[in-house]
Amino acid sequence: MHPHQQRLLIVDDQPDLRELLKSYLSTEGFAVDAVEDGPSMDAYLADHEVDLVILDLMLPGEDGLSIGRRLRQQRNLPIIILSARGEELDRIVGLEMGADDYLTKPFNPRELLARIRSVLRRCTDTGPEPATRERTVHRFGPYVLDVDQYRLFRDNEPVSLTTGEFKLLRIFVENANRVLSRDNLLEMTKGYDHSPMDRSIDVCVGRLRKKIETDPSRPVYLRTIRGAGYMFSAED
């Protein structure tokens, strides 16, 4: 196997979809394995290192949300959720669980490939930057947002962010002191298909506040502008 080949694990109870994705993603340069449920996944992970898990929500036995929470707590593995239902609630709960991205079945495999590459780039692009390259960083309070490394630091300690959280925080920081509506933010993140009732931005803002605000109920950086949306203030 190529030394830098990244390994994906598909957890889905549909044999045809497992085979389709395994075949397609293998031709795109990944090492891919697929299992049908939680116990099979646990057995696989006991013997293999994995770079990313593609996790179906509707599984027999332990459901995908429960499995996802376990993966987050035990390994902090990047997770992309698949759901056949596509209900708003599924997406919200999936994001609250800490999934890095979300796709509703049916989907185009090329779209999944784009999401996988985006998540893996953020999760693996953490090495030292060449000294000759100018790095893009934004500073606010005790924080440094390193755009090139896809990382946030507080007093030089990394703060764990999902892909969606990083993307949203970057948009806020790069548009400091501008009021951004939910529609603005959904268009700019482009991470999820969205409906007029989409609450994913609110969920993501809530998660970011828990991570960067001293008191999330009285935010200093991520402020709610009533009736208009949100505004990021770099001054604490």
Q: What is the pLDDT of residue 116?
A: 92
Q: What is the pLDDT of residue 208?
A: 93
The residue-averaged pLDDT of 19-46 equals 95
Q: What is the pLDDT of residue 130?
A: 44
Q: What is the pLDDT of residue 167?
A: 85
**Mean pLDDT score across all residues of the chain:** 84
The residue-averaged pLDDT of 144-167 equals 85
User: What residues contact residue 130 under an 8 Å CB cut-off, 6+ apart?
Assistant: none
Query: Using the 8-state DSSP alphabet, how is residue 173 labeled?
Result: H
Q: How would CATH label the architecture of 137-232?
A: Orthogonal Bundle (1.10)
Residue 1 scores a pLDDT above 50: no
Domain range summary for the chain, segments of one domain joined by +:
7-124, 137-232
* 203 vs 225: CA distance, rounded Å: 16
User: What residues contact residue 167 under an 8 Å CB cut-off, 6+ apart?
Assistant: 189, 191
Q: How long, in residues, is the chain?
A: 236
Residue 236 scores a pLDDT above 80: no
Residue 136 scores a pLDDT above 70: yes
The residue-averaged pLDDT of 67-72 equals 86
Q: Tokens 């994913």 label which residue?
A: 200
| pTM, entire model | 0.61
Cβ count within 10 A of residue 28: 13
Higher pLDDT, 222 or 70: 222
Phi, psi dihedral angles at 42 (to 5 degrees): -60, -45
The per-residue pLDDT for range 177-199, each reduced to its tens digit, is 999 998 888 777 754 455 555 67
Fold of the CATH domain 7-124: Rossmann fold (3.40.50)
The residue-averaged pLDDT of 147-168 equals 85
Q: What is the pLDDT of residue 129?
A: 46
* 15 vs 234: CA distance, rounded Å: 49
